[in-house]
Protein backbone atom coordinates (compact mmCIF):
# COMPACT_ATOMS: atom_id res chain seq x y z
CA UNK A 1 0.00 0.00 0.00
CA UNK A 2 1.52 3.30 -1.09
CA UNK A 3 0.58 6.24 1.12
CA UNK A 4 0.35 9.43 -0.87
CA UNK A 5 2.99 11.97 0.15
CA UNK A 6 1.70 15.40 1.12
CA UNK A 7 2.01 18.07 -1.59
CA UNK A 8 5.18 20.01 -0.86
CA UNK A 9 4.25 23.39 -2.20
CA UNK A 10 1.31 24.11 0.12
CA UNK A 11 1.65 25.69 3.56
CA UNK A 12 0.23 22.57 5.17
CA UNK A 13 2.67 20.39 3.28
CA UNK A 14 5.62 22.47 4.43
CA UNK A 15 4.26 22.32 7.98
CA UNK A 16 4.65 18.54 8.00
CA UNK A 17 7.91 18.43 6.03
CA UNK A 18 10.92 17.52 8.21
CA UNK A 19 13.81 19.97 7.67
CA UNK A 20 16.28 17.08 7.63
CA UNK A 21 16.90 13.48 8.58
CA UNK A 22 16.66 12.93 12.34
CA UNK A 23 14.73 16.17 12.81
CA UNK A 24 11.04 16.76 13.21
CA UNK A 25 8.73 18.86 11.07
CA UNK A 26 7.02 21.78 12.85
CA UNK A 27 3.69 19.94 12.61
CA UNK A 28 5.23 16.79 14.02
CA UNK A 29 6.65 18.83 16.87
CA UNK A 30 3.24 20.22 17.76
CA UNK A 31 1.73 16.74 17.83
CA UNK A 32 4.63 15.13 19.72
CA UNK A 33 4.86 17.79 22.42
CA UNK A 34 1.08 17.95 22.65
CA UNK A 35 0.99 14.22 23.37
CA UNK A 36 3.89 14.41 25.82
CA UNK A 37 2.45 17.28 27.82
CA UNK A 38 -1.09 15.97 27.93
CA UNK A 39 0.08 12.56 29.10
CA UNK A 40 2.31 14.20 31.74
CA UNK A 41 -0.74 16.10 32.95
CA UNK A 42 -2.76 12.88 33.09
CA UNK A 43 0.02 11.23 35.12
CA UNK A 44 0.80 14.15 37.39
CA UNK A 45 -2.69 15.41 38.19
CA UNK A 46 -3.70 12.47 40.45
CA UNK A 47 -0.36 12.84 42.23
CA UNK A 48 -0.88 16.58 42.63
CA UNK A 49 -4.34 15.91 44.03
CA UNK A 50 -2.90 13.45 46.56
CA UNK A 51 -0.29 15.99 47.72
CA UNK A 52 -2.84 18.81 47.95
CA UNK A 53 -5.35 16.66 49.80
CA UNK A 54 -2.72 15.76 52.38
CA UNK A 55 -2.58 19.47 53.27
CA UNK A 56 -6.33 19.91 53.68
CA UNK A 57 -8.50 20.01 56.75
CA UNK A 58 -11.42 17.53 56.75
CA UNK A 59 -13.77 20.46 56.15
CA UNK A 60 -11.85 21.50 53.02
CA UNK A 61 -12.20 18.00 51.60
CA UNK A 62 -15.86 17.58 52.46
CA UNK A 63 -17.11 21.00 51.36
CA UNK A 64 -16.29 20.44 47.71
CA UNK A 65 -13.20 20.82 45.60
CA UNK A 66 -10.53 23.41 46.37
CA UNK A 67 -7.47 23.37 44.20
CA UNK A 68 -4.61 25.64 45.13
CA UNK A 69 -3.03 25.98 48.57
CA UNK A 70 -2.83 29.60 49.80
CA UNK A 71 -5.25 30.61 47.05
CA UNK A 72 -8.53 28.94 47.81
CA UNK A 73 -7.68 27.21 51.09
CA UNK A 74 -5.06 27.47 53.82
CA UNK A 75 -2.74 24.48 53.86
CA UNK A 76 -2.60 22.73 57.16
CA UNK A 77 -0.14 20.10 58.33
CA UNK A 78 -2.58 18.43 60.72
CA UNK A 79 -2.58 15.11 58.82
CA UNK A 80 1.21 15.06 58.65
CA UNK A 81 1.40 15.89 62.35
CA UNK A 82 -1.12 13.19 63.20
CA UNK A 83 0.91 10.49 61.46
CA UNK A 84 4.48 11.66 62.03
CA UNK A 85 4.33 13.31 65.47
CA UNK A 86 1.45 12.21 67.66
CA UNK A 87 0.88 8.82 66.03
CA UNK A 88 4.48 8.14 65.06
CA UNK A 89 4.59 4.77 66.81
CA UNK A 90 1.50 3.61 64.98
CA UNK A 91 2.89 4.64 61.61
CA UNK A 92 6.45 3.49 62.16
CA UNK A 93 5.56 -0.12 62.92
CA UNK A 94 4.04 -0.98 59.54
CA UNK A 95 6.67 1.20 57.87
CA UNK A 96 9.43 -0.76 59.55
CA UNK A 97 7.63 -4.04 58.76
CA UNK A 98 7.36 -3.11 55.11
CA UNK A 99 11.03 -2.16 54.87
CA UNK A 100 12.21 -5.36 56.56
CA UNK A 101 9.89 -7.59 54.55
CA UNK A 102 10.56 -5.92 51.19
CA UNK A 103 14.34 -5.80 51.64
CA UNK A 104 14.76 -9.32 52.98
CA UNK A 105 12.39 -10.96 50.53
CA UNK A 106 13.97 -9.10 47.62
CA UNK A 107 17.50 -10.09 48.66
CA UNK A 108 16.50 -13.70 49.19
CA UNK A 109 14.63 -13.73 45.90
CA UNK A 110 17.52 -12.15 43.98
CA UNK A 111 20.01 -14.61 45.49
CA UNK A 112 18.01 -17.80 45.01
CA UNK A 113 16.62 -16.71 41.66
CA UNK A 114 19.94 -15.70 40.11
CA UNK A 115 21.63 -18.86 41.35
CA UNK A 116 18.92 -20.96 39.75
CA UNK A 117 18.99 -18.90 36.55
CA UNK A 118 22.77 -19.24 36.31
CA UNK A 119 22.57 -22.97 36.95
CA UNK A 120 20.03 -23.35 34.16
CA UNK A 121 22.30 -21.47 31.77
CA UNK A 122 25.52 -23.33 32.54
CA UNK A 123 24.79 -26.69 34.17
CA UNK A 124 22.89 -29.46 32.45
CA UNK A 125 20.17 -31.11 34.51
CA UNK A 126 18.41 -34.32 33.59
CA UNK A 127 15.86 -35.24 36.20
CA UNK A 128 13.95 -38.37 35.23
CA UNK A 129 10.33 -37.86 34.25
CA UNK A 130 9.26 -40.85 36.31
CA UNK A 131 10.98 -39.57 39.45
CA UNK A 132 9.10 -36.28 39.16
CA UNK A 133 5.83 -38.15 38.74
CA UNK A 134 6.62 -40.21 41.85
CA UNK A 135 7.35 -37.07 43.80
CA UNK A 136 4.08 -35.43 42.77
CA UNK A 137 2.18 -38.59 43.71
CA UNK A 138 3.89 -38.61 47.12
CA UNK A 139 2.82 -34.98 47.63
CA UNK A 140 -0.77 -35.78 46.61
CA UNK A 141 -0.82 -38.69 49.04
CA UNK A 142 0.52 -36.44 51.79
CA UNK A 143 -2.04 -33.72 51.06
CA UNK A 144 -4.89 -36.24 51.12
CA UNK A 145 -3.62 -37.79 54.34
CA UNK A 146 -3.30 -34.42 56.09
CA UNK A 147 -6.37 -32.75 54.66
CA UNK A 148 -8.98 -35.48 54.48
CA UNK A 149 -7.82 -38.18 56.91
CA UNK A 150 -6.48 -35.69 59.45
CA UNK A 151 -3.03 -37.26 59.92
CA UNK A 152 -0.43 -35.08 61.66
CA UNK A 153 1.49 -33.24 58.92
CA UNK A 154 4.94 -34.07 60.31
CA UNK A 155 4.18 -37.79 60.27
CA UNK A 156 2.65 -37.57 56.78
CA UNK A 157 5.64 -35.62 55.44
CA UNK A 158 8.10 -38.11 56.92
CA UNK A 159 6.25 -41.15 55.57
CA UNK A 160 5.70 -39.61 52.12
CA UNK A 161 9.36 -38.57 51.98
CA UNK A 162 10.57 -42.03 52.99
CA UNK A 163 8.33 -43.79 50.46
CA UNK A 164 9.47 -41.42 47.73
CA UNK A 165 13.17 -41.96 48.46
CA UNK A 166 12.68 -45.71 48.63
CA UNK A 167 10.77 -45.92 45.34
CA UNK A 168 13.06 -43.43 43.59
CA UNK A 169 16.11 -45.49 44.59
CA UNK A 170 14.65 -48.80 43.48
CA UNK A 171 12.72 -47.74 40.37
CA UNK A 172 14.88 -44.77 39.41
CA UNK A 173 17.12 -46.70 37.02
CA UNK A 174 14.22 -48.00 34.97
CA UNK A 175 12.94 -44.56 34.02
CA UNK A 176 14.14 -43.57 30.57
CA UNK A 177 12.57 -40.24 29.67
CA UNK A 178 14.13 -37.22 31.27
CA UNK A 179 13.41 -33.52 31.41
CA UNK A 180 15.77 -30.88 29.98
CA UNK A 181 16.86 -27.46 31.25
CA UNK A 182 14.38 -25.67 29.01
CA UNK A 183 11.52 -27.56 30.63
CA UNK A 184 12.75 -26.67 34.11
CA UNK A 185 13.04 -23.02 33.11
CA UNK A 186 9.53 -23.05 31.64
CA UNK A 187 8.18 -24.74 34.77
CA UNK A 188 9.74 -22.11 37.03
CA UNK A 189 8.63 -19.15 34.93
CA UNK A 190 5.13 -20.54 34.52
CA UNK A 191 4.68 -20.27 38.29
CA UNK A 192 3.98 -16.60 37.66
CA UNK A 193 0.75 -17.54 35.86
CA UNK A 194 -0.52 -19.06 39.08
CA UNK A 195 -2.95 -16.57 40.64
CA UNK A 196 -1.94 -16.11 44.29
CA UNK A 197 -5.50 -16.76 45.37
CA UNK A 198 -5.19 -20.41 44.24
CA UNK A 199 -2.40 -21.24 46.66
CA UNK A 200 -3.10 -18.77 49.42
CA UNK A 201 -5.63 -20.85 51.37
CA UNK A 202 -3.36 -23.89 51.80
CA UNK A 203 -0.42 -21.55 52.49
CA UNK A 204 -2.55 -19.82 55.12
CA UNK A 205 -3.36 -23.20 56.68
CA UNK A 206 0.32 -24.21 56.56
CA UNK A 207 1.43 -21.08 58.38
CA UNK A 208 -1.44 -21.47 60.82
CA UNK A 209 -0.24 -24.98 61.58
CA UNK A 210 3.32 -23.76 62.15
CA UNK A 211 2.02 -20.83 64.26
CA UNK A 212 3.66 -18.47 61.78
CA UNK A 213 0.63 -16.42 60.78
CA UNK A 214 1.17 -12.69 61.14
CA UNK A 215 4.97 -13.00 61.26
CA UNK A 216 7.61 -11.39 59.08
CA UNK A 217 8.98 -14.77 58.04
CA UNK A 218 5.64 -15.86 56.56
CA UNK A 219 5.40 -12.75 54.38
CA UNK A 220 9.09 -12.85 53.41
CA UNK A 221 8.84 -16.46 52.28
CA UNK A 222 5.63 -16.00 50.32
CA UNK A 223 6.83 -12.80 48.60
CA UNK A 224 10.04 -14.58 47.65
CA UNK A 225 8.17 -17.41 45.98
CA UNK A 226 5.78 -15.11 44.16
CA UNK A 227 8.60 -13.01 42.67
CA UNK A 228 11.05 -15.85 42.03
CA UNK A 229 9.79 -16.49 38.44
CA UNK A 230 10.46 -12.86 37.49
CA UNK A 231 14.05 -12.99 38.74
CA UNK A 232 14.73 -16.31 37.00
CA UNK A 233 13.14 -15.13 33.76
CA UNK A 234 15.08 -11.85 33.57
CA UNK A 235 18.40 -13.09 34.96
CA UNK A 236 18.46 -16.09 32.60
CA UNK A 237 18.89 -13.74 29.64
CA UNK A 238 21.50 -11.62 31.41
CA UNK A 239 23.60 -14.65 32.38
CA UNK A 240 23.29 -16.13 28.91
CA UNK A 241 24.91 -12.93 27.60
CA UNK A 242 28.02 -13.37 29.79
CA UNK A 243 30.82 -14.81 27.62
CA UNK A 244 31.69 -18.36 28.62
CA UNK A 245 35.44 -17.87 27.91
CA UNK A 246 35.89 -15.86 31.12
CA UNK A 247 34.41 -18.67 33.17
CA UNK A 248 36.43 -21.31 31.39
CA UNK A 249 39.72 -19.54 32.07
CA UNK A 250 38.77 -19.10 35.73
CA UNK A 251 37.94 -22.79 35.88
CA UNK A 252 41.40 -23.62 34.52
CA UNK A 253 42.85 -21.51 37.33
CA UNK A 254 41.08 -23.82 39.75
CA UNK A 255 38.23 -21.60 40.84
CA UNK A 256 35.16 -23.42 42.13
CA UNK A 257 31.77 -22.87 40.60
CA UNK A 258 30.61 -20.84 43.60
CA UNK A 259 33.64 -18.55 43.30
CA UNK A 260 33.09 -18.16 39.59
CA UNK A 261 29.47 -17.27 40.16
CA UNK A 262 29.96 -14.75 42.95
CA UNK A 263 33.20 -13.14 41.76
CA UNK A 264 32.99 -13.21 37.98
CA UNK A 265 29.50 -13.80 36.64
CA UNK A 266 27.42 -11.83 39.12
CA UNK A 267 29.52 -8.63 38.89
CA UNK A 268 29.33 -8.83 35.09
CA UNK A 269 25.56 -9.11 35.21
CA UNK A 270 25.10 -6.41 37.85
CA UNK A 271 23.24 -4.00 35.60
CA UNK A 272 20.62 -6.64 34.96
CA UNK A 273 20.63 -7.62 38.61
CA UNK A 274 20.07 -4.03 39.69
CA UNK A 275 17.15 -3.57 37.31
CA UNK A 276 15.61 -6.89 38.36
CA UNK A 277 16.08 -6.08 42.04
CA UNK A 278 14.38 -2.73 41.60
CA UNK A 279 11.38 -4.32 39.91
CA UNK A 280 11.03 -7.04 42.54
CA UNK A 281 11.50 -4.51 45.32
CA UNK A 282 8.66 -2.36 44.01
CA UNK A 283 6.42 -5.40 43.68
CA UNK A 284 7.20 -6.57 47.22
CA UNK A 285 6.82 -3.09 48.66
CA UNK A 286 3.37 -2.61 47.13
CA UNK A 287 2.05 -6.15 47.54
CA UNK A 288 -1.46 -6.29 48.93
CA UNK A 289 -3.30 -9.60 48.51
CA UNK A 290 -0.86 -11.86 50.35
CA UNK A 291 -0.47 -9.35 53.16
CA UNK A 292 -4.24 -9.16 53.42
CA UNK A 293 -4.47 -12.90 54.02
CA UNK A 294 -1.32 -13.50 56.05
CA UNK A 295 -0.97 -10.49 58.34
CA UNK A 296 -3.36 -9.05 60.88
CA UNK A 297 -1.52 -6.73 63.26
CA UNK A 298 2.08 -7.58 64.16
CA UNK A 299 3.36 -7.99 60.61
CA UNK A 300 1.00 -5.45 59.02
CA UNK A 301 2.54 -3.72 56.00
CA UNK A 302 2.04 -0.27 54.53
CA UNK A 303 -0.51 -1.17 51.82
CA UNK A 304 -2.70 -2.62 54.55
CA UNK A 305 -2.29 0.61 56.53
CA UNK A 306 -3.48 2.58 53.50
CA UNK A 307 -6.49 0.33 53.15
CA UNK A 308 -7.14 0.68 56.87
CA UNK A 309 -7.68 4.43 56.45
CA UNK A 310 -11.17 3.56 55.33
CA UNK A 311 -12.34 3.85 58.91
CA UNK A 312 -15.88 2.56 58.96
CA UNK A 313 -18.49 5.06 60.10
CA UNK A 314 -16.32 8.18 59.78
CA UNK A 315 -15.79 7.36 56.13
CA UNK A 316 -12.40 7.48 54.46
CA UNK A 317 -9.76 9.59 56.19
CA UNK A 318 -8.56 11.06 52.89
CA UNK A 319 -6.05 13.48 54.39
CA UNK A 320 -4.06 10.94 56.43
CA UNK A 321 -4.33 8.38 53.66
CA UNK A 322 -2.70 10.82 51.26
CA UNK A 323 0.16 11.32 53.71
CA UNK A 324 0.67 7.56 53.88
CA UNK A 325 0.67 7.28 50.08
CA UNK A 326 3.31 10.02 49.86
CA UNK A 327 5.60 8.60 52.51
CA UNK A 328 5.32 5.23 50.79
CA UNK A 329 6.74 6.61 47.54
CA UNK A 330 9.87 8.09 49.15
CA UNK A 331 11.82 4.85 49.82
CA UNK A 332 11.03 3.58 46.33
CA UNK A 333 12.45 6.71 44.76
CA UNK A 334 15.54 6.46 46.99
CA UNK A 335 16.12 2.86 45.97
CA UNK A 336 15.56 3.75 42.33
CA UNK A 337 18.22 6.46 42.60
CA UNK A 338 20.68 4.11 44.31
CA UNK A 339 20.15 1.29 41.82
CA UNK A 340 20.00 3.65 38.83
CA UNK A 341 23.74 4.25 39.30
CA UNK A 342 24.47 0.55 38.89
CA UNK A 343 22.18 0.30 35.91
CA UNK A 344 23.87 3.21 34.12
CA UNK A 345 27.37 2.05 35.06
CA UNK A 346 26.59 -1.49 34.03
CA UNK A 347 25.53 -0.33 30.60
CA UNK A 348 28.87 1.47 30.21
CA UNK A 349 30.92 -1.48 31.39
CA UNK A 350 28.76 -3.73 29.23
CA UNK A 351 31.44 -3.11 26.62
CA UNK A 352 33.38 -5.94 28.31
CA UNK A 353 31.47 -8.30 26.05
CA UNK A 354 33.64 -7.72 22.97
By CB under 8 A, what part of segment 2-21 binds other proteins? 3, 5, 21
One of 35, 92, 338, 344 touching other proteins (CB under 8 A): 35
Q: How many residues bind other proteins (CB under 8 A)?
A: 96
What is the smallest separation between the CB atom of 246 and other proteins, expressed in angstroms? 18
Within 255-284, which residues bind other proteins (CB under 8 A)? Answer: 256-258, 261, 282
Q: Scanning residues 122 to 161, which ones bind other proteins (CB under 8 A)?
A: 123, 125, 136, 139-140, 142-144, 146-148, 150
- In this complex, which beta carbon is closest to other proteins, that of residue 166 or of residue 289? 289
Query: What DSSP designation does 85 have?
Result: I
Query: Binder to other proteins among 85, 92, 133, 336 (CB under 8 A)?
Result: 336
Smallest distance from other proteins to CB 102, Å: 11
Closer to other proteins by CB, 44 or 171: give it. Answer: 44
Q: Is 110 in the site for other proteins (CB under 8 A)?
A: no
Smallest gap from residue 213 Cβ to other proteins (A): 14
Q: Which of residues 187-206 bind other proteins (CB under 8 A)?
A: 188, 191-203, 205-206
Q: From the centroid of its chain, how far is CA 351?
A: 28
User: C-beta of 174: minimal distance to other proteins in Å?
Assistant: 22
CA distance 352 to 157: 49
User: How many other β-carbons are positioned within 10 Å of the β-carbon of residue 82?
Assistant: 17
- Answer yes or no: are the C-beta atoms of 105 and 223 closer than 8 Å: yes
4 or 297: whose CB is closer to other proteins? Answer: 4
Sites for other proteins among residues 158-177 (CB under 8 A): none
Q: Which runs of consecutive H residues, i.e. helices, occur in the chain? A: 11-15, 26-54, 58-62, 78-81, 88-122, 129-147, 153-171, 181-190, 196-209, 216-240, 244-252, 257-259, 266-268, 270-286, 289-294, 302-308, 318-349
As a whole number of angstroms, the distance between CA 21 and CA 326 comes to 44
Q: Sign of torsion, CA 217 222 223 225?
A: positive
Q: Does the protein bind other proteins through residue 62 (CB under 8 A)?
A: yes
Q: Is 346 a binder of other proteins (CB under 8 A)?
A: no
- Residues numbered 281-310 forming contacts with other proteins, rule: CB under 8 A: 282, 285-286, 288-289, 292-293, 302-303, 306-307, 309
The one segment of 59-67, 80-88, 163-171, 343-351 that binds other proteins by CB under 8 A? 59-67
CB of 179 to other proteins, least distance (A): 12
DSSP letters along 260-320, please? IIIIIIHHHTHHHHHHHHHHHHHHHHH--HHHHHH-SSTT--HHHHHHHTB-GGG-B-HHH
Q: Determine which residue in the list 67, 217, 341, 352 makes contact with other proteins, applying CB under 8 A.
A: 67
Asked if 112 interacts with other proteins (CB under 8 A), we say: yes
Among 10, 19, 26, 49, binds other proteins (CB under 8 A): 49
Q: How far apart are CA 346 and CA 337, in angstroms?
A: 14
- Give which of 217, 263, 214, 212 is closest to 242, Cα–Cα: 263
User: Using CB under 8 A, which of 44, 88, 162, 347 touches other proteins?
Assistant: 44
For residue 344, what are the CA distances in angstroms to 281, 325, 339, 347, 352?
A: 18, 28, 9, 5, 14
In contact, 338 and 323? CB cutoff 8 Å: no
Nearer to other proteins, 203 or 270 (CB): 203
Amino acid sequence: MQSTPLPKNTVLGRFFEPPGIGKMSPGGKVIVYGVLFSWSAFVLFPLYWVVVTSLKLPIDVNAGPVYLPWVDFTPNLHAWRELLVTGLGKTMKPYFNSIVIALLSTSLCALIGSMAAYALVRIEYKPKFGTILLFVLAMVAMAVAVGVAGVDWRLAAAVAGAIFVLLARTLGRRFKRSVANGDILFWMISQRILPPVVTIIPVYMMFQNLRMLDTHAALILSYTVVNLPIVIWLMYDFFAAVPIELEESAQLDGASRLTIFFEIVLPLARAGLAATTLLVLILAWNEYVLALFLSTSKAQTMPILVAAMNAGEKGVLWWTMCVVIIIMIIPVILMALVLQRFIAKGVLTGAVKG
